[in-house]
Amino acid sequence: MALKVAIVGLPNVGKSTLFNALTRTAAAQAANYPFCTIEPNTGDVAVPEPRLQTLAAIAGSKEIIPARITFVDVAGLVRGASKGEGLGNQFLANIRDCDAVAFVARCFVDDDITHVENRIDPVSDLEIIETELMLADLESLEKRVVNVEKKAKGGDKEAQQTLRLINLALEQLRAGKPARLAEVSKEDEKAWHMLQLLTSLPALYVANVEEASADQGNELSAKVAERAARDNANSVVISAQIESEIAVLDDEEQKEFLEGLGLVEPGLNRLIREAYKLLGLQTYFTVGPKEARAWTVPVGATAPQAAGVIHTDFEKGFIRAETVAYEDYVALQGEAKAREAGKLRAEGKAYVVKDGDVMHFLFN
């Protein structure tokens, strides 16, 4: 699955610093002035998965291939972005192509780094961004509604469904609420997604704190977490500055650096895991002497759907899946002993994949 998460926020909140750390590059120019990022930078990031290393060691895999997620560094938005302020319309269009949005809020005080609003208030920052996205959605829907109404009156069933969902979204937005808070039925999910609303995308709030608060956060990040809970969003505390410093270190140096700060793992690992959880995703594995590989599927995916992530022909010609739980694979040290112990199962088309399943597909 090609997954994309937009990194969004006001100028100078640490978005590009965070992006640089995520991608371990200096692809995004991190500078102390607004709009230093003009084109959206994209970077593929490996999803942290320690189980993959364990499986590879047991199977003697020559290559380890992690699942990946793409982050898009969108240039800083400002008040009035929905009307084109600060090249806003161009930047908003970059978000529509993503699966989720990570809102970065500045939760640190540093007089050397200017703030476009001349104050440090992360909740207000988030409200500015959310408001601009809502205004952009309102404009988009109000332009479309007249044409859809005409088709709906003519008896077009698809247009009638679309009109109903447009009105639902407009009701939310006019009440000052993001579209993601609307209650949408399972049957309407596909059509709802087709509206391409910025505020219907799952949201993750990233509280960017100073180094001393990287572990527990601070008063400002606590306000962000409170706001996230109210907005049906996830939140994570991270220090973009720390992440940028450790991004260039090898694994052993990283470990020593983090231990010195009282941290167990990079904050980026938490960020990526939260993005996965936000999108309702899980991981299954294929393991052999050639490679150990992690694959991404939605929670609730069936065995044929999981096979289809590898290749569409696998799903079309699916016969069965041989499956063993990660814990059993590790405890029994591989597929052969798992089979002998009766822990390797043959599963059919109705099998719902579980996180950590080690799978092998048979197909026609």
Binding residues for ATP: 12-17
Residues 6 or more apart whose Cβ sits within 8 Å of residue 59: 287, 288, 289, 292, 334, 335
AA identity, residue 362: L
List % helix, strand, coil for the chain (3-state, nearest 5): 45, 20, 35
Which element (helix H / strand E) includes 324? strand 318-324
Binding-site residue numbers are: 12-17
Using the CB atoms, write b or e for 247-278: b if 16+ within 10 Å.
beeeeeebbeebeeeebeebbbbbbbebbbeb
**Taking phi first (over 0 means left), then psi (-120 to 50 degrees means alpha), and beta for anything else, what does residue 173 get?**
alpha
- Give the DSSP letter string of 256-306: HHHHHTT-SS-HHHHHHHHHHHHTTEEEEEEE-SSEEEEEEEETT-BHHHH
* Max Cα distance, the chain (Å): 68
From residue 107, alpha-carbon distances to 169, 217, 266, 268 in Å are 31, 9, 18, 17
